[in-house]
Amino acid sequence: MHLVYPAVLSALLFCTGLYGVLARRNAILVLMSVELMLNAVNLDLVAFDVWLSKAAAETLHSGQALTLFTIAIAAAEIGIGLAIVLAVYRNRGSSDIDRLRDSAEGPDDGTDGDGTGDGTDDDGTDGDAATAPAAGKTEATA
């Protein structure tokens, strides 16, 4: 078998995964796309290992061993990633990546909290976290 066939298939899988990471909004689908990219790399590792083992009489099959390590790391990554996504979904009610990013950044239109842009909130304060009372901080963390 030629090396071109698994290499082209691996490139197609990797490009599909890359498109999924860049275009998807759901965190679960992004994690699945990352797994698809890792599987494309695993396919390349095994294909090159088989191709190089034909040239050498005695081989260590290091490509296949590295593939096993990659599979183990990918399993740990998907477990931790799903745990994070579930925790975010329970806290925020959505796993939409754009909504999570927008809520973390705050208002980006150049205005302050009341929308006037004059530097003060409705109560006349400047709205800084340093001037906020300590009781509000404990309520936000509880």
DSSP 26: B
pTM of the predicted model as reported, rounded to 2 decimal places: 0.65
Q: How far apart are CA 85 and CA 94, in angstroms?
A: 9
Contact 121, 113 (CB under 8 A): yes
Q: How many CA atoms lie within 13 A of 51 on its CB side?
A: 13
pLDDT of 106 reads 58
Per-residue pLDDT band for 137 (boundaries 50, 70, 90) equals very low
Q: Match 């081989």 to its residue by tokens.
A: 59
Q: Are 31 and 78 in contact (CB under 8 A)?
A: yes
Asked if 86 and 93 touch (Cβ cutoff 8 Å), the reply is no
- Cβ neighbours for 40, distance < 8 A, ≥ 6 positions apart: 10, 11, 13, 14, 17
pLDDT digits (tens, 9 = 90+) for 10-52: 999 999 999 999 998 888 899 999 999 999 999 999 998 888 8
pLDDT in tens, 94-112: 888 887 766 666 555 555 5
Element (DSSP H or E) covering residue 82: helix 62-92
